[in-house]
Amino acid sequence: MAIELRRLIEKVEHMDITLLAGEHGTGHLVQWVHMTETVEASGFLDGGEIAFVTGIGLSSPADLLNLVEKIYQRNAAGIIVNTGPFLETVHKDVLAFCDQHDFPLYVVPWKIHLAEIMRIFCTCITRESQRSLETAAAFKNAIFFPQQEELYVVPLSTRCFHVNWRYAACVLQITTEGDLLQRNEKMIVSLENSLRHAYKNFAVFEYEGEIILVVANYDRMQMEQFVEALKQYSRKYLLRGEEISLGVGRQTRSIRCLYKSYRQAKSIQRLQMRHKIEPTMIFYSDMGLYRLLMGIEDKEFIQDYYDATLRRILEYDKANGADLTDVLRCYLNHDGSVKDTADALFVHRNTVNYKIGKIGELLHKDLSSLQVRMELLLAFMLQDML
């Protein structure tokens, strides 16, 4: 876990630390600290460090620019220069480079002990990481082991997530063929730090390739604002051709019911990922008839209903290379209109009439009946959720 640079600086602002350049980069994420006195030493940076420099390893003050460039190229979060006997000032060329690349450069006077700043930073980063891990573990227990309240009620209460607040789960996933593990980790750190300024009562963590966010004690307007911010930040991590699927479950009456909100959010996210619903359908309250179906927890019941209604035409399509299933779904989506179905499929009306007749024979049902069409439409909706 990492923490925003500006949040770290707040912890040491009493130590005469001054930002000289790169102000727009103070939101960079810091994963650790590193003393970097020479260009050769910059090669040990892995990215995300805040680099400390006293100038003791530089032949002349002019060499600082070369060192800063190398530190920047290693994807460091920023640099803190200890001005004193080795570096009295920071040259304007260095400041110009930092401003140009949004690379924060701070200075502290020689009288300030860098070791104390480094200790404070390391403590903050470690505590942030520990807090996030423990909070995530407690919320996972609330979602996947709701009956074992001892695993989450007290741990979350101690972190100011009160038991009787209203909670909602959000499930976000990137549709990709690549490895999401590292990208999800970066997204989680970024979301944690970027959203924390405006939204306090939330947690974010990863579970089996998906990102789960738990939001506490927000009204509908706050939820909508939070979700919009979530989408904007998440899009920054998309590669060409990738999409985000996102679902938000119903607000619960207490932390004990969070698992229900998660299941709803997961169902919505899965429907989006399969393009069964519009991308704008994110909230449980917007899901129409799907809301009723999401309340069915018995998967065997869903499978039995689906088998009893649609299995015959699925088997017929498979055996004969036919497309009756697609025709039926299109027919149902167009309220039983043969004309609209034919237009949507770019075929003649007689073709649709023939196939609808064949479907009726296979299912032993009259598709002109509204009740029959509703039964079949429900079967397709249940299929979408399996």
CATH code for the part of the protein at 128-294: 3.30.70.270
- Convert 170-199 to b/e letters by CB count within 10 Å (16 or more is b): bbbbbeeeeebeebbeebbbbbbbbbeeeb
Task: State whether the Cα torsion 235-237-240-246 is positive or negative.
Answer: negative
Asked if pLDDT for residue 295 goes beyond 80, the answer is no
Domain spans, the chain: 3-112, 128-294, 299-385
Say yes or no to pLDDT of 44 above 80: yes
**Tens digits of residue pLDDT in 228-272:** 999 988 888 888 888 899 999 999 999 999 999 999 999 999 999
Average pLDDT, the chain: 90
Q: pLDDT tier at 1 (50, 70, 90 boundaries)? A: low
Topology given in CATH for the domain delimited by 3-112 = 3.40.1390
Q: What is the pLDDT of residue 382?
A: 82
Task: Give the tens place of pLDDT for each residue, 352-368.
Answer: 999 999 999 998 888 88
Q: Assess whether pLDDT exceeds 70 at residue 297.
A: no
Indicate whether 5 pLDDT > 80: yes
Q: Is it the case that residue 58 has pLDDT exceeding 80? A: yes
| Reported confidence tier of residue 189, pLDDT bands at 50, 70, 90 | confident
pLDDT in tens, 149-171: 999 999 999 988 999 999 999 99
Q: How confident is the model at residue 148 (pLDDT cuts 50, 70, 90)?
A: very high
Fold assignment, 299-385: Arc Repressor Mutant, subunit A (1.10.10)
Supply the DSSP symbol for 344. Answer: H
Q: Regarding predicted confidence, which is higher, 79 or 3?
A: 79
Question: 109: which strand partners?
Answer: 83
Q: Average of pLDDT values for 294-309?
A: 77
Q: Which two tokens stand for residue 173?
A: 């996933």
Span 333-351, average pLDDT: 91
pLDDT score at 182: 75
112-135: pLDDT as tens digits: 999 999 999 999 999 988 888 899
